[in-house]
Chains A and B, each alone.
Chain A
């Protein structure tokens, strides 16, 4: 089943540059897709089409096999959860709990159901103890995770995460990674924009590279990270252990710690 589809999507900012220059791609339900590429490549512009904040200048965007054209932002919000890059664009309430419950209540959940969802979402992002805090009394990295909890509490079929690991410390990054794994395990579709190549390689099964408003590569991480010229044009570089394996002349293309050590084990004489 198709979760989202872009059909030759072009987008021009009013009076400005063409940010998307003919993007076509299909994401199947349950896929984990990371979008990588340079600042200004069009990544955020692309995903903003999924919740109706932007409509294409030409081409079509489909969510759940229906075009977004003519559907309201609130209707799309029931299908697509969206974590903004800047949490301060997203948070508004006087307490973390009210903020996280707002989404489910808006979807028509009973207060008890909204509370239950908020509890689960806050536990997932490691902020149960902060439920009564004012969001502005939390750190930027915590505010980002509050915003993430708000998205999780919506329980949408598609979850879009714009730079979810930004500013997270080691524990926060692990929590965000666990959220991606949990979402995937429950069959949800996750689309993330990230500059963290290790995160992309370790937790996503498909990478999409964007440069200058176009998709320049699309495939499994181990394959995409092997395309040196595409990566250079997109100003990204492979994960650290992938580069280390290259440097050591190994034939394997490990994208994470586990695969790297597996590759090392395969080489080690017994």
Chain B
């Protein structure tokens, strides 16, 4: 669905590339998590996959980015937006500033893509129900809490029903309930065939929901595999992505001689339940 070949990208006036040597092939109907320390290139990769770079901010891209078999660089902006939805990192900046109500805000993208009016209204209603924000539809986008604004930003992309959805830290402002809700919605989208790429620091959630986990470090992909494989990799400390509380507890227990020192460390709730429930 998304294929990146030898992609490198350098921001305008920057000396060094923000991304280099990116090879990526994402299957339709998959959820791919991307982790990496700040500055590793996550937001840049999100914008490259969504066709925002170099189109919007300039800079130089080498290599090719193809979505559904078509080179993103050759699509018009409207065509690109119709293929890939991007939920940007700071929801306060995703709000268009052009609309008076949340209902209009969510419909803004569809308006630009020429969706018929009746269809727009139906879709807004459906997506608002999905994200439990129906009661906010008549509010001003500026009278929302950070978490509510983030759900509106997500809704305004979901409503476009793009085959690919790229989300840059979409749960940063959400309460635990909202976070679980967003991941449940992603599971549904995946089952309906949407390709989801999610950039996120919450390792426990990626472990539970992603099919595949990529690690960015030093501006390139350094690990690629199932979340369980990647999080248990012995190189994990060098990537500065942290580790789950389960892993940290098992490490400390090993250090204190309470657990055997061989074998993989637990990375999930279930694995930790087996480690700490069964061992002694």
Assess whether B145 is in contact with A141, with CB atoms less than 8 Å apart.
no
* Interface size range of chain B in the complex: 35 or more
Q: Which residues of B contact A269 (CB under 8 A)?
A: 280
Partner among A39, A85, A140, A240 whose Cβ is within 8 Å of the Cβ of B246 = A240
A-B contact list, 25 entries, CB within 8 Å: A40-B148, A85-B146, A86-B146, A88-B92, A140-B90, A166-B173, A168-B38, A168-B201, A169-B38, A169-B242, A170-B201, A171-B38, A171-B240, A172-B38, A195-B179, A235-B177, A237-B176, A240-B269, A241-B245, A243-B269, A257-B249, A258-B252, A260-B245, A265-B256, A269-B280
Stretch from B48-56, B120-128, B155-163, B270-278 at the A interface: B270-278
Assess whether B242 is in contact with A173, with CB atoms less than 8 Å apart.
yes
A267 to B172, CA, bound (A): 37
A-B contact count (CB 8 A): 125
7 nearest A-B residue pairs (beta carbon):
A170-B242, A39-B147, A235-B177, A261-B252, A169-B38, A167-B172, A268-B280
Q: Which residues of B contact A98 (CB under 8 A)?
A: none
How many A residues face the partner with a CB closer than 8 A? 46
Q: Which residues of B contact A141 (CB under 8 A)?
A: 38
Asked whether any CB of chain B lies closer than 8 Å to the CB of A252, the reply is no
A76 to B90, CA, bound (A): 29
Q: How far is the CB of B201 from chain A (nearest CB, A)?
A: 6
Q: Which residues of B contact A195 (CB under 8 A)?
A: 147, 173-176, 179
Assess whether B89 is in contact with A140, with CB atoms less than 8 Å apart.
yes
Asked whether any CB of chain B lies closer than 8 Å to the CB of A186, the reply is no
Q: B residues 169-198 with Cβ under 8 Å of A?
A: 169, 172-179
A2 to B175, CA, bound (A): 30
Partner among B36, B90, B147, B252 whose Cβ is within 8 Å of the Cβ of A88 = B90
A264 to B249, CA, bound (A): 10
Q: Given A44-B145, A235-B177, A239-B245, are A166 and B38 neighbors across the interface (CB < 8 Å)?
A: no
Partner among A167, A169, A197 whose Cβ is within 8 Å of the Cβ of B241 = A169
Asked whether any CB of chain B lies closer than 8 Å to the CB of A112, the reply is no
Q: A residues 161-210 with Cβ under 8 Å of B?
A: 163, 166-173, 195, 197-198
Partner among B93, B148, B269 whose Cβ is within 8 Å of the Cβ of A244 = B269
Assess whether B176 is in contact with A235, with CB atoms less than 8 Å apart.
yes
Contact with A along B242-260 (1 / 0, CB 8 A): 1111101100110010100
Asked whether any CB of chain B lies closer than 8 Å to the CB of A142, the reply is yes
Q: Given A86-B92, A167-B89, A236-B177, are A260 and B249 neighbors across the interface (CB < 8 Å)?
A: yes
Q: Given A88-B93, A142-B38, are A163 and B246 neighbors across the interface (CB < 8 Å)?
A: no
